[in-house]
């Protein structure tokens, strides 16, 4: 059995496996998303503490199939203490990665994006942080947004309204014709620049990104959004 030793990781999600074990979906810089069995976790208070999301870890695992066996899990830093809405935001970020990233899709930039977003989550403004994460996550999965120009090559105009088709991009809105997501040029440019100067921009970007994310996850609801409600 191939052994992978001491790799940086974050746990994204944990579920029961048998009487005493759990399966953890972990994110690593070198191997992407990996599923590992943590044996005996229900009988060890130490393992229970290390099997929670939002803690930087060093993990060693072995196995040749898709489901690996964790041989050791060690802390690599203090756990991130998230409460209230910020905890729900962390769960949302984890769920997005689980839904959009395939297993073993190696992407060190994704790991860095996740790590830096988590570090900002306890104190930064939530809405801009989440929208920038969503935008950059889509970019890293190869389905980034087209925010510089419309489908005809014309620069996005902050004073215009657009139909945004996720598979094509923005096209100036024609009255009575709706073929995508209706969005203002102001919102598209705010998202491009990752700078939201007004409440209206922040709300507009949230509405736009919600529709885009829903498109990419196939319309299935996100469980983490139910927690917000």
β-strands 3-17, 21-28 pairing: antiparallel
pLDDT of residue 36: 94
CA 167 to chain centroid, in Å, comes to 20
Q: Could you give the CA distance from residue 143 to residue 137 in angstroms, rounded to a whole number?
A: 9
pLDDT of residue 17: 85
pLDDT of residue 18: 82
pLDDT of residue 42: 67
**What does pTM read for this prediction?**
0.91
With a cut of 50, list the residues of the chain below it in pLDDT.
none
Q: Could you give the CA distance from residue 76 to residue 56 in angstroms, rounded to a whole number?
A: 5
pLDDT of residue 140: 94
pLDDT of residue 99: 94
Helices (H) and strands (E) in the chain, counts: 7, 8
pLDDT of residue 65: 86
pLDDT of residue 179: 78
pLDDT of residue 199: 82
pLDDT of residue 229: 61
pLDDT of residue 45: 61
Q: Could you give the CA distance from residue 128 to residue 119 in angstroms, rounded to a whole number?
A: 14
């Amino acid at each position: 059995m191939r052994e992978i030793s001491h790799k940086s990781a974050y746990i994204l999600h944990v579920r029961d496996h048998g009487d005493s074990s759990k399966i953890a979906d972990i994110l690593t810089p070198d191997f992407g998303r990996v599923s590992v069995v943590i044996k005996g976790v229900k009988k060890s208070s130490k393992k229970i503490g290390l099997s929670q999301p939002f803690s930087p870890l060093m993990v060693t695992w072995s196995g040749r199939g898709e489901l690996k066996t964790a041989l050791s899990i060690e802390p690599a830093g203090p756990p991130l203490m998230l409460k209230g809405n910020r905890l729900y935001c962390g769960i949302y970020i984890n769920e997005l990665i689980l839904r959009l990233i395939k297993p073993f899709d190696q992407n060190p930039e994704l790991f860095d994006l996740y790590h830096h977003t988590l570090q900002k989550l306890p104190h930064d403004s939530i809405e801009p942080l989440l929208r920038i994460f969503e935008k950059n996550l889509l970019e890293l999965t190869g389905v980034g947004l087209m925010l510089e120009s419309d489908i005809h090559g014309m620069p996005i105009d902050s004073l215009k309204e657009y139909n945004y088709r996720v598979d094509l991009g923005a096209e100036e809105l024609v009255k009575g014709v709706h073929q995508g997501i209706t969005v203002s040029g102001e919102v598209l440019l705010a998202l491009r620049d990752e700078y939201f100067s007004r409440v209206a921009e922040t709300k507009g970007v949230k509405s736009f990104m919600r529709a885009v994310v829903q498109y990419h996850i196939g319309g299935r609801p996100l469980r983490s959004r139910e927690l917000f409600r």
